[in-house]
Amino acid sequence: MKKLTQEVNDFLYRSMDSHVRIAVTGLSRAGKTAFITSMVNQLLHTSTHDNLPLLKSAREKRIVGAKRVPQHNMMVPRFAYDDAMEQLHAHPPEWPIPTRDVSEIRLALKYKPKQRHKKILSPTSTLHIDIIDYPGEWLLDLPLLNMDFEEWSNSQIEALKGQRKELAGEWLTQLETLDLDAEADEKKLEHISSVYTKYLHGCKEVGLHWVQPGRFVLPGDLAGAPVLQFFPCITGSNSKPKKNSNLEMLSKRYSEYQEKVVKAFYKQYFSTFDRQLVLVDCLSPLNASHEAFNDMSVALEQIMHSFRYGRSGLLKRLFSPKIDKILFAATKADHVTPEQHSNLVSLLQQLVHPAWQNAAFENIEMNCIAMASIQATTAGFISDGEATIPAIQGSTLEGEPMTLFPGEVPQKLPNSDYWEKSGFEFSNFAPKAKVDYAPIEHTRMDKALEYIIGDKLK
Ligand X SMILES: Nc1nc2c(ncn2[C@@H]2O[C@H](COP(=O)(O)OP(=O)(O)OP(=O)(O)O)[C@@H](O)[C@H]2O)c(=O)[nH]1
- Under the rule (CB under 5 A), what is the footprint of Mg ion? 32-33, 99
399 binds ligand X (CB under 6 A): no
Scanning 122-276, the segments in alpha helix (DSSP H) are 136-139, 149-158, 162-167, 169-176, 186-205, 214-217, 246-256, 264-269
| Stretch touching ligand X by CB under 6 A, among 26-34, 108-116, 198-206, 320-328 | 26-34
416 binds ligand X (CB under 6 A): no
Instruction: For ligand X, give the closer residue by CB, 293 or 429.
Output: 429
The pairing of beta strand 275-280 with beta strand 19-26? parallel
Contact call for residue 28 and ligand X (CB under 6 A): yes
Binding residues for ligand X, how many (CB under 6 A)? 24
> Judged by CB under 6 A, which of 20, 22, 34, 282 binds ligand X?
34
The nearest distance, CB 98 to Mg ion, in angstroms, is 6
- Shortest Cβ distance from residue 96 to Mg ion (Å)? 7
Q: Which of residues 119-158 bind ligand X (CB under 6 A)?
A: 135-136
Work out which of 62, 72, 164, 332 binds ligand X, going by CB under 6 A: 332
Rounded Cα–Cα distance for residues 398 and 154 (Å): 44
- Specify the residue, 93 or 232, whose C-beta has the smaller distance to ligand X: 93
Q: Is 334 in the site for ligand X (CB under 6 A)?
A: yes
Task: Give yes or no for residue 439 binding ligand X (CB under 6 A).
Answer: no
Cβ pair 423, 415 in contact under 8 A = no
CB 372 within 8 A of CB 334: yes
> What CA–CA distances, in Å, run from 19 to 11, 57, 127, 169, 356?
9, 16, 6, 50, 26
Under the binding rule (CB under 6 A), the answer on residue 407 touching ligand X is: no
Residues 352-381 that bind ligand X (CB under 6 A): 372-374, 376
Among 303, 415, 402, residue whose Cα is nearest residue 92: 402
Indicate the residue among 95 and 356 with the shorter CB distance to Mg ion.
95
Q: Is 57 in the site for ligand X (CB under 6 A)?
A: no
Q: Of residues 197, 246, 287, 331, which one binds ligand X by CB under 6 A?
A: 331
5, 81, 439 from 321: Cα distances, Å: 20, 27, 32
Nearest alpha carbon to residue 328 among 18, 24, 63, 1: 24
For 368, phi then psi, to 5°, come to -130, 130
In contact, 450 and 382? CB cutoff 8 Å:
no
Q: Does 23 bind ligand X (CB under 6 A)?
A: no
Is 73 exposed, middle or buried, given 0-12, 13-18 or 19+ CB atoms closer than 10 A? middle
In the complex, least distance from residue 241 CB atom to ligand X, rounded to whole angstroms = 35
Please report how close the Cβ of residue 114 comes to Mg ion at its closest, in angstroms: 35
**Smallest distance, ligand X to C-beta of residue 250, A:** 28
d(CA 197, CA 139): 17
Cis peptide before 232 (omega within 30 of 0): no
Min dist CB 373 to ligand X, Å, is: 4
Q: Which residues bind ligand X (CB under 6 A)?
A: 26, 28-34, 95-96, 98-99, 135-136, 331-332, 334-335, 372-374, 376, 428-429
